[in-house]
Amino acid sequence: MPRSQRTQSLLQFGLFAGILVLINILANQVYTHLDLTEEKRYTLTKPTRELLKSVDDRIYVRVLLEGEFPAGFKRLRTATREMLDDFRSISGYIDYQFEDPNKGSKEEVNARRKALLEEGIAPVNLNVRGEGESKSQIIYPTAIFHYGGRKVIVNLLENQSPTLLPDEVINNSISLLEYKFANAVKKLRSKGRPIILFTRGHGELDELQTKDFERSLRQFYDTDRITLDSVIHLPPDKCELLIIAQPRTAFSERDKFIIDQYIMNGGKVLWLIDRLDASLDSLRHQKRFIPTDYPLNLEDMLFKYGVRIQPDLVLDMECTQIPLQVGVVGNAPQFRLFPWPYHLAVLPTGAHPVVKNLDRVELRFCSSIDTIRTKTPVKKTVLLRSSRYSRLQFSPIELGFEIMGEELKPEYFNKGHQTLGVLLEGEFPSNYENRVSEQMAEGLRQAGLTFRPQSQPTRMIVISDGDVAANFVRDRAKKEWLPLGFNRFENATYANRDLLINAVEYLIESSGVIEARSREVKLRLLDTVRAKEEKPLWQALNIGAPLLFLALFGIFFHWRRKRRYGQ
């Protein structure tokens, strides 16, 4: 009997161990979880799931975020791994590997860093504070997606703004992981390259001024310039998006008619319009300057579509700085930075995917925008607006540097939020309804088209500043320029490029992976003051409660054993 019982016990143990092994094997093959979070942070959006289900070939992801990091970057690494696991649970074609670029000998690390820099992957220099010391650590918060001989580089870390805490930067980075990864997969699998055209012939920004913007676009789009008076018709299937970037001279009625019918047939437009001719260079050549209206001849079109750019300038206490000479030491002039309220540092606060989790954007000499009721249903969404400490100056305006010698007082900046950027979505009325000239009608007949008085459902974005897309040109002869959004006075980078890329992606494809940008991961930080005050209580609970539980369990077990076997 004892031998039989021993054999039976061994068989039961072996069966139990076999079941555990089988469960572990099955668990490694199937990844699933139950999302009980309030904001559903671990649930992929529907467009992302549909995109992953359509993947039919292997996508390999190299994540260069391995090593010893502070707690925040460990969170980012864990979130990245979990997001890739979520992707792999939908599509078995997703494979990934984490790598440490700083591992190996000094020569190997330097060679690897050089190779990464040639690929356009720049490191982040992180200052890590330890016990009584501080050291610098180079990390690469980057993921590289490979698919069919193509690759996309994804920056996992959002811009570190001085207005955000490090935990908030990490939190924003985590909340955008799904969008960034899904966007990379979408771009890799895209067979065609949409065409984006910039207008020219009206004094718009030239190729050198939009160099950085176009370089970012050309990773996934084809860009070119178009002179409207050289075409009869602009078909939307040949131009996914038309960008009108800071025109300075008038549009003819023929050019406007081409744009109007392009919109009526479903075309999308990004309007980057300056209402007044004002710039910092104009002020530097003369002590006082009175800006005039640009004679664009676009006011009737924009009014018909639902917006009006006012002939004013918006000033804001939340602004960037410019240098002003304050003295001379020897023969060298001395400069100091002063707040310049005409250059706004706009912080997007909306929940729309175009501006969600976006850092500050620099706008220069921008005007306020009014929304107008339209004949057809057009949805208007404010994307950019000034802070509540704003002020308006109406044309004619005399500009000068005297304002920099004054303290910016809130009581003078009391006009509240001013709209600076608007998204328009819906069916737009034609600007030429009941007034098509014979020349316009002839152009349509030559293209085999008929006049459309109302558009198909489409979208456009209007921003009252053309400089938002202009990178600084350092030397035209040598074709040297600075990155878009880089403020050379403050040595800081604003999110102008991110804003425009988001705008382009939304205009071209509104119902897609950009929906994932709306995801919000709430940052639930500890109350540090309360935690410090209640520290002894929680220490006692954490140490004493388990010991008390063990003592009670021991007493109960002893009592039960004595009662059971004492009889």
Q: Tell me the CATH number at 86.
A: 3.40.30
b/e map of 502-514 (b: 16 or more CB within 10 Å)? bbbbbbbebebbb
Q: Is residue 89 part of a domain?
A: yes
Residues 178 and 213 in one domain: no
User: Considering its fold, how many domains does the chain have in total?
Assistant: 2
SS (H, E, C) 214-260: HHHHCCCCEEEEEEHHHCCCCCCCCCCEEEEECCCCCCCHHHHHHHH
Residue 286, SS3 per DSSP: coil
Residues 479 and 441 in one domain: yes
Q: What is the pLDDT of residue 203?
A: 93
What pTM value is reported for the model? 0.75
b/e map of 154-188 (b: 16 or more CB within 10 Å)? bbbbbbebeebeeebbbbbbbbbbbbbbbbbbbbb
Q: Is residue 502 part of a domain?
A: no
Residues 449 and 391 in one domain: yes
Residues 406 and 354 in one domain: yes
Longest distance between any two alpha carbons in the chain, whole Å: 113
Final residue before a domain boundary, out of 477, 494, 511: 494
Residues 173 and 290 in one domain: no
Q: What is the pLDDT of residue 132?
A: 52
Residues 384 and 441 in one domain: yes
Q: What is the pLDDT of residue 271?
A: 97
Q: What is the pLDDT of residue 396?
A: 86
Q: What is the pLDDT of residue 512?
A: 65
Q: Is residue 503 part of a domain?
A: no
Final residue before a domain boundary, out of 460, 478, 494: 494
Final residue before a domain boundary, out of 129, 162, 188: 188
Residues 216 and 172 in one domain: no
**DSSP 8-state symbol, 33:** -
Q: Where are the strands (E) in 94-182, listed by range? A: 94-98, 124-129, 134-139, 142-147, 150-155
Residues 219 and 310 in one domain: yes
Q: Which residues of the chain have pLDDT under 50?
A: 1, 162-163
Cβ atoms 94, 84 nearer than 8 A: yes
Residues 309 and 450 in one domain: yes
The whole domain housing 281 covers 194-494
Q: What is the pLDDT of residue 524?
A: 52
The per-residue DSSP string of 288-302 comes to -B---B-----HHHH
Residue 438, CA atoms < 13 Å, CB-side half-sphere: 0
Residues 171 and 238 in one domain: no
Residues 137 and 212 in one domain: no
- Other CB atoms within a 10 A radius of the CB of residue 483 amount to 15
Q: Is residue 564 part of a domain?
A: no
Q: Is residue 261 part of a domain?
A: yes
Q: What is the pLDDT of residue 439?
A: 83
Residues 33 and 49 in one domain: yes
